[in-house]
Structure 1
């Protein structure tokens, strides 16, 4: 669990020997400290900014402004302010506390590698800072967990990508097979259609041939009823004549036979 260095209201003794500044910024910082103690961090921020408008190089006001921003969870702005104090402060202890608080601001942003570097800077200036040592190890652990999680996510994404690729490939293969089946069905349908057309053509040709044959064969002559009656009568007359002729021939034969008898 990270620990945070308190505002200058707890460390006023550090600035007893600082250069004399105007009374206005000091009053404004004290007023800001009162709001800070009452946990009115937004009001404290306003007073600290007023103090810095009087004297931009007032390290005490800038450090406390970083505290107020941190308490409002504006960690990015707080870290920026602590970094500036760490670079410009005259006293090593103030610089060390600024680097420490910068490390905490970066931790809150899950920037563990950068926070590790900030804690290291704090410990170079103050090797006995137990809080900085603790937070350094904590940041290292969080960094390791983060890297493991990132690797795990990377592996999962890689596996997911591979699964997606396999699914896409399977879908493509399925589409190919489906297209092949559709193409084959179309070809079969086309072939069936062609076969049917050929069969129909052959059937038509056969029927036409049969009709031609029938037309070439002699057709029975159609006669009227009257003609049929005439033909029937003619046949009867012919039969009668024929019968008469036969009877005549028979009679001759009989007579001839009779004349040959010797009485």
Structure 2
């Protein structure tokens, strides 16, 4: 029984030693593979630097991309590729590569360079607030870099200037908007005044039309009354057919009424003349009495 226990202990120890050996071997193998990949990546980076110095940008870009794919730990490859993009003014690609280099960098110096160049990209884009933050991060990794310090001061100055310009622009826009609003209000008031005048004129015209209508109605009433009076007069007058026609009723060899009246008037005048002659003779024969005054 005791022998069995000893054998089991030996087996467990042997298994543990074997497991540790395999793990150590695997780690060493992984380390060797990473080291090998890093050497290959570094060599590709050198090739890219050489092609870039010979102005062969296309081949340099290929070498840098291969170096990045071979070993993510090689911060120099994305940094150098970002620099190539920056010099070609491809700032979006440059920023992406500088950011990648800053993330994989293990030393403060590498991080400082990556963030410094990110600040330069933001300055080219005129994104001054982000440039300020990038330069600050670069100085955290290397506070002694005067170039980064100068760029930070310049970025702050440009940011301040931009804010002042935006403030002035906003003030101008506000003043312009206020003027436009005031102009619109004045136009609305003028429009309301015109509408009010038009309404008053319409009311005035309607009043005049009403007065003319009343006058017309009065004239109509007068004409109507006149027509009524004329009709009444016509009713009172006998119709022509009802009036006696003297000429039609007069018999042959018979004097008319007018002729009879004229004849009687002539006879009366003759009698009057005779009487006047008789009276005149009487007056001539009579004596004149002398009347005395008292």
Which TM class, normalised by the smaller chain length? 0.7 to 0.9
Counterparts of residues 183-202 of structure 1 (less than 5 Å)? 183-202=199-218
Q: CA, structure 1 residues 42+164, in 2 after alignment: closer, same or farther (shift >3 Å)?
A: farther
Q: For the aligned residues, what is the CA RMSD?
A: 3.2
- SS of residue in 2 equivalent to 1:30: helix
Q: Quote the offset at 1:101 in angstroms.
A: 0.4
Residues 246 and 119 (structure 1 numbering): CA distance in 2 closer, same or farther, change over 3 Å?
A: closer
Distance in structure 1 (CA, Å) of the matches to 2:232 and 2:83: 122
- Specify the alignment match of 1:96 in structure 2: 112
Structure 1 unaligned regions, length at least 5: 1-17, 252-263
Q: Distance in 2 between matches of 1:38 and 1:170?
A: 70
Larger mean CA deviation between 212-221 and 64-73 belongs to 212-221
Between structure 1 and structure 2, the one with the greater Rg is 2
Within the candidate set 94, 110, 122, 2:138 is matched to 122
| Residue in 2 that maps onto 1:170 | 186
Kept after mapping to 2: 8 A contact 1:42/1:72: no
Give the CA deviation at 1:67. Answer: 0.9
Kept in 2, the 8 Å contact 1:45–1:69? The answer is no
TM-score by length of 2: 0.68
Map 1:55-134 to 2 at 5 A. 55-134=71-150
Summarize the Cα distance change of 1:192–1:34 in structure 2 as closer, same or farther, 3 Å threshold.
farther
Equivalence for 2:165: 149
Show structure 2 runs of 5+ residues with no match. Answer: 1-33, 275-294
For residue 236 of structure 1, the aligned residue among 252, 259, 269 is: 259
Q: Distance in 2 between matches of 1:25 and 1:88?
A: 14
Secondary structure at the aligned position of 1:205 is classed as: helix
Q: Aligned partners of 2:123 and 2:41: how far apart in 1?
A: 31
- 191 and 41 in structure 1: CA distance in 2 versus 1, 3 angstrom threshold: farther
CA drift of 1:20 comes to 5.4
Q: Does the 8 A contact of 1:59 with 1:89 survive in 2?
A: yes
Q: Which deviates more from structure 2 when the two are superposed, residues 149-158 or residues 42-51?
A: 42-51
1:39: how far off? 3.9
2:195 corresponds to which residue?
179
What is residue 44 of structure 1 aligned with on the other side? 60
Matching of residue 216 in structure 1 with residue 232 in structure 2? yes
Whole-angstrom distance in 2 between the partners of 1:20 and 1:116: 39
How big is the shift at 1:24?
4.1
Structure 2 CA distance for aligned equivalents of residues 245 and 192 of structure 1: 69
| Partner Cα separation in structure 1 for residue 268 and residue 115 of structure 2 | 161
